Structure 1
């Protein structure tokens, strides 16, 4: 929250564009050793594709994300997805300035961009042009601290929270013990992207 308050004051951002991005079921179920690395590269590629959909100059987006490996209401089932949050300011490296943009974007174009990003990392295999990934968009005004904190708590919660809440929805008769152990040990990382990776260059100091 400290970093968000700094960005709100110095960037200055006033909205958070939230994007919940899913992957094909076969990726979730197979989850090869390097798939999480591929997914992080896909997120970086997605941000590059997202920029021209939001503004028409060469600037960089900034934000943060977490990766969830489980289904919310049925936490013992694998469901790989990304909770991405993008501030409505972009940074121009050459001019060393921030500029604000309207966080309005086409849902359809977001799906196309995310599919392209997944394809670039071998995480999409459907040949059908009409088949698109599920993507959910939303907006949060940074001044709305209740909604903002709710979002942060939601995306950084551990799977054990959902297991305690919704274990009754799960089929526990055929649970892979290795998968269950991985869930118990999993903690979603907060990963900053774009210009938000290094806030120290803008004067941020940890308290």
Structure 2
């Protein structure tokens, strides 16, 4: 929250564009005994960074860079023992022009279909999409939060950075525990979603942020 408050104070950002991006089921189910760290692979990080690049021209025309942060979840909320790889990405409605060293604000309005197409293309570029049908698109959800709305903002932050154990305690009754891989279950119990800053937010120290 400290970094978000810094961004709110030092840039014209007033909205957060929230994007929940799902990976294909075959990618989720490929999470095996030794593949839990797949979520930190270069391919997935590459897909997220490429998605941001594809998103930029859909939001503004200037040659500037988007900025935000994300977390990666590996489990399904209602059935937490089932692998379900998805990304909770949050983008501030300001872009940074490195040449002019200036920020400019844009309206955080975007077509849901455009988001799905961009995410599919980003996944495809990293070998994480295999459906040849142009009409087939990944599951994505788009929303908006005004930064001044602290209740909704904090709710979003708590939601995307919660641990799997929270959903396991709440929804264990929905799970089939008869065929659970103990290594997978152990990995879930130990997993803590990381807060990863991307784009111009990657290095806030250059703007004066102090840890």
TM-score interval, smaller chain? over 0.9
Gaps of 5+ in 1: none
Q: In the alignment, which of 178, 183, 192 is matched to residue 183 of structure 2?
A: 178
1:16 aligned residue: 16
Alpha-carbon deviation of 1:35? Answer: 3.7
Residue 54 of structure 2 corresponds to residue 44 of structure 1: no
Residue 113 of structure 2 corresponds to residue 112 of structure 1: no
1:145 and 1:69 map into 2 onto residues whose CA distance is 27
2:179 and 2:38 map into 1 onto residues whose CA distance is 24
1:83 and 1:61 map into 2 onto residues whose CA distance is 16
1:143 aligned residue: 148
Alpha-carbon deviation of 1:82? Answer: 0.2
Alpha-carbon deviation of 1:51? Answer: 0.2
Q: For 1:118, what is the secondary structure of its paired residue?
A: helix
User: What RMSD over aligned residues (CA atoms) do the two structures have, in Å?
Assistant: 0.9
2:66 aligned residue: 61
The C-alpha deviation readout for 1:115-169, integer Å capped at 9, x for no partner, is 0000011110000110000100000000000000000000000000000000000
Alpha-carbon deviation of 1:188? Answer: 0.3
Matches within 5 A, 1:68-79: 68-79=73-84
Residue 167 of structure 2 corresponds to residue 159 of structure 1: no
TM-score by length of 1: 0.98
Gaps of 5+ in 2: none
2:203 aligned residue: 198
TM-score by length of 2: 0.96
Large movers: runs of 4+ above 6 Å: none
2:31 and 2:201 map into 1 onto residues whose CA distance is 28
Alpha-carbon deviation of 1:31? Answer: 2.5
Alpha-carbon deviation of 1:171? Answer: 0.3
